[in-house]
Structure 1
Amino acid sequence: MSQRPITSTTDGRLNLEQQRKRAKELLTRLKAHDAHATLSQAQWQIAKQLGFSSWPKLKAHVDALDFAARHPNFQASDEARTTHWRCGSDIAHTLQLAGFQGQFRMLTDPLCMGPVRDLPAEEFRTLRSAFISQTFAMDLTTVAQRVDNEYQHLHALADDAPSVLWCEADAYDQLFLIRALAGLDRAPRHLELIQVDRIPGVERFIGIGQLAPDVLAWLWPQRRRINDDAVQLAKQAWSAYCNPSPLRLAQLAHTYHPALPLLAPALLRQLQELPGAQDGLSLTERLALTCLADTGPMAFGQVFAELMAKREPLPFLGDMMFHALLRPLIDGKQPLLTESETQLEWPRRVLVLTPLGRQVLSGQAYWPEHASHARWVGGTCIRPGEPHWAIDQALRPVWRTS
């Protein structure tokens, strides 16, 4: 029997009366096929489609959200000296709306892109500033000041003042997390972590930034103290990510880590930004080309929206990041994509696969043999025409010489 899909929210809010109404509507349809169907059965199906194992658990979740909304200052532990840390500004205003009192800090360096090498602090910041400035066409002096400022503030994590890291499950956030923790000698007494990979009732969870203020308040009691095991794991993961060889990173990506349980899937997704052994495409590139092969010419912004809404298994890119990652496929001497109407802003330009793009996508050509740009995944560099690391179908690194 086909059922009308249960519409989920996008910001995490759930209305219990609306779900009760849907359960009654579903019961009517169930009874058309089974006269003995009960309201409890319909409620269970509604709860299951929203991500709960039972109707009582759905109700308990809604009650918890309602309580958080009615009591925005529900915990005195969030005080003026608490610092909330994030890898972007997306929840800064929402935290204020939810009643949080502490200050907000962020590290906006997109560590999932560009060279990330094991260098002394000043050299590392110079490297990252140059990459960000060039990639996003931003003033180098302005970028360098911001990068220096944000990384200097990270030292405050070692203090005894309360700090909370807000992270989701994707590579952008998890790399921010291990970078923040890797700079510590030990776990501070008052450093806590809120991390989440799904929100009940949200069908396509992209990130914390999409959540309503009361849902952030609901997440607050779920924070956990960072322990020394998490710090040591972060040090290992950060060192592996900065290494020119991805072998150690792959070992960590294929292992579950209780100290940071969302880390391995994010590292595994990031490994897939290495060239695929068959076509030389990163997973992001392959998803974009596949989308165009399936639908035909499409606006740049629509391709990004399609990936985030449906195709990307663990969304981690912002729109400008996606645009930057695809530029080498457009601007190279042997492009895989062409864009038309270049007088328009980039999201409205129409992308079309080139014949070479179709050959690469089908595995008949290997992209790094035609590319004219170097690309990085952490400390691993892929240079055109040179032997390099790739990723096989088992998501294990392989050394490719030709």
Structure 2
Amino acid sequence: MPAPVPSSPTDGRINLEQQRKRAKERLKQLRQHPPFDQTLADAQWQIAKELGFSSWPKLVAHVDAIDFAARHPDFAASDEPRTTHWRCGNDIAHSLQLAGFKGRFRMLADPLCMGPVQQLPAAAYKRQRSRFVSQAFGLALGEVSRRFDDEYRDLAELGNGQPGVLWCEADAYDQLFLIRALAGLALVPDRLELIEVSQVPGVERFIGIGQLAPDVLAWLWPQRRPVDAAMLQLARQAWQAYCDASPVPLAALAKTDHPALPLLGRALRRQLQELPGVRDGLSLTERLALQVTAEAGSLPLGKVFGVLMLRHEPLPYLGDLMFYAMMRPLIEGANPLLIGQEPQLPWAQRPVRLTALGEQVLAGLAYWPDLASHERWVGGVCTAPGAAHWAIDEQGVPVWQVRQ
């Protein structure tokens, strides 16, 4: 039988009439192969399974629920004008307004999955993060510092008795934002809720909440749950472990999933893979990017990012500028692993290919931290060029590497 061709959209909305037509076409295909007595219900079940549902009636119920949310925004978006919607970026701010939400929007856009994240006094912490973001993204330090002052001042108001909702997905960017926000709370707030999502039925490749249509955000709204003491305790433990100079506490915490924050364990396991691998010294992002480039021979850096996110990244968490910031040390360092061509082009259009050293490192014949000229951080864990450092093995176990 011919392989099925999924037609699910990327924004979460499902056209039921289109799926009915697909089911009829599928039935024609099914009846060309034994057994020849397949029914429309069989074809509908296949279509429903491809879209992430266990049955056709559940697909229909899901579409009906979203349609209802779209027709009744005051019911679905029952927030108050004084409700604060919290997010780790501004990707859903406009969609919330379109869906009928009435509250204000606040964000913490600090990319905690990159650069040094240590337990420091508030002023020193913001200085460290501002310097990193300024250098990594080529932004004016004063502008970054002012933005962080505003965002962290707003975050200090979280749990102040006003209604609030945290919108998060399953990746490290969001989950680190979540534990950072919750770890700062002294007491369980009265009116703080959490919406977490790892997948949406009908979305073939769920990357994040920002890709969802406004009416799908309204559909998510009733799924929120109150922030409780177990969440705060786990967030504090996880944040302290993430800021530690050793990855051992974080790895111990990441071994299992936790009912209080069920998406956290997987995100932490993925973040630990940004430590140097014991075989080649590459982070998982670096290794996958080199593999994509090696397979193509030469590829624009933006295409490398696209292929990486769509086909290879197990838990997408990077934006395009974040990816470019990670690749720059591999291109611009004293011993580059990638050759960047046509520097006059915007970064996404610049072709890159592996250097001879890049091929050796990717093959495990050379060890990248011995040759790199840049410092690397995963939370509070620092890898300095040529120095002893923490690495991660294939089972996710931290290993102390003493270099000769």
TM-score, length basis structure 2: 0.98
TM-superposed CA distance for 1:83, in Å, is 0.3
Q: Distance in 2 between matches of 1:30 and 1:369?
A: 57
Aligned match of 1:351 = 352
RMSD of aligned Cα (Å): 0.8
Aligned match of 1:10 = 10
Query: 1:74 aligns to what SS in structure 2?
Result: helix
User: Which residues in structure 2 correspond to 1:41-60 (within 5 Å)?
Assistant: 41-60=42-61
Aligned match of 1:160 = 161
Range that drifts further, 133-142 or 99-108: 133-142
Query: Does the CA contact (< 8 Å) of 2:76 and 2:219 recur in 1?
Result: no
Query: 2:101 aligns to what SS in structure 1?
Result: coil
Aligned partner of 1:383: which letter? Answer: A
TM-superposed CA distance for 1:143, in Å, is 0.7
**Correspondence 1:261 to 2:265:** no
Deviation string, structure 1 residues 151-190 (Cα, Å, up to 9, x no partner): 1111111211110000000000000000000000122011
Distance 1:31 1:356, change over 3 A: same
Deviation string, structure 1 residues 292-340 (Cα, Å, up to 9, x no partner): 1111100011101111111111000011100000111111111100101
Aligned partner of 1:283: which letter? Answer: L
**Correspondence 1:400 to 2:401:** yes
Aligned partner of 1:25: which letter? Answer: E
Aligned match of 1:184 = 185
TM-score, length basis structure 1: 0.99
Question: Which stretches in structure 1 are left out of the alignment for 5+ residues?
Answer: none
Aligned partner of 1:320: which letter? Answer: L
TM-superposed CA distance for 1:3, in Å, is 2.7
Aligned partner of 1:2: which letter? Answer: P
Aligned partner of 2:28: which letter? Answer: T
Q: Distance in 1 between matches of 2:320 and 2:74?
A: 34
Aligned match of 1:314 = 315
Query: Does the CA contact (< 8 Å) of 2:195 and 2:223 recur in 1?
Result: yes
Q: Distance in 1 between matches of 2:128 and 2:77?
A: 41
Q: Distance in 2 between matches of 1:348 and 1:241?
A: 35
TM-superposed CA distance for 1:38, in Å, is 0.8
Deviation string, structure 1 residues 212-269 (Cα, Å, up to 9, x no partner): 0000000000011111100010000000000000001001111110000000000000
Deviation string, structure 1 residues 43-99 (Cα, Å, up to 9, x no partner): 111000100011111010000010011111115740100000000000000000000
Distance 1:321 1:23, change over 3 A: same
Range that drifts further, 2-11 or 124-133: 2-11
Aligned match of 1:111 = 112
Aligned match of 1:25 = 25
Q: Distance in 1 between matches of 2:217 and 2:385?
A: 45
Query: 1:156 aligns to what SS in structure 2?
Result: coil
Aligned partner of 1:357: which letter? Answer: G
Query: Does the CA contact (< 8 Å) of 2:282 and 2:368 recur in 1?
Result: yes
**Matched pairs, number:** 402
User: Which residues in structure 2 correspond to 1:243-254 (within 5 Å)?
Assistant: 243-254=244-255
Runs of 4+ in 1 over 4 A off after TM superposition: none
Aligned match of 2:324 = 323
Aligned partner of 1:228: which letter? Answer: A
The percentage of counterpart residues that share the same residue type is 65
Query: 1:192 aligns to what SS in structure 2?
Result: strand
Aligned match of 1:231 = 232
Query: 2:149 aligns to what SS in structure 1?
Result: helix
TM-superposed CA distance for 1:290, in Å, is 0.2
Aligned match of 1:374 = 375
Q: Distance in 2 between matches of 1:238 and 1:96?
A: 32
Aligned partner of 2:334: which letter? Answer: K
Q: Distance in 2 between matches of 1:17 and 1:192?
A: 35
Aligned match of 1:120 = 121
Aligned match of 2:74 = 73
Query: 2:194 aligns to what SS in structure 1?
Result: strand
Query: Does the CA contact (< 8 Å) of 2:69 and 2:76 recur in 1?
Result: no
Distance 1:178 1:232, change over 3 A: same
Q: Distance in 1 between matches of 2:324 and 2:389?
A: 24
Q: Distance in 2 between matches of 1:156 and 1:221?
A: 24
Query: 1:317 aligns to what SS in structure 2?
Result: coil
Q: Distance in 1 between matches of 2:300 and 2:254?
A: 34
Query: 2:156 aligns to what SS in structure 1?
Result: helix
Aligned match of 2:147 = 146
Aligned match of 2:283 = 282
Query: 2:177 aligns to what SS in structure 1?
Result: helix
Aligned partner of 2:270: which letter? Answer: R
Q: Distance in 2 between matches of 1:157 and 1:334?
A: 45
Deviation string, structure 1 residues 334-376 (Cα, Å, up to 9, x no partner): 1100101001111111101000000000101100011011100
Q: Distance in 2 between matches of 1:281 and 1:76?
A: 45
Q: Distance in 1 between matches of 2:362 and 2:204?
A: 30
Q: Distance in 1 between matches of 2:24 and 2:159?
A: 54
Distance 1:32 1:310, change over 3 A: same
Q: Distance in 2 between matches of 1:76 and 1:188?
A: 21
Query: 1:286 aligns to what SS in structure 2?
Result: helix
Q: Distance in 2 between matches of 1:331 and 1:187?
A: 47
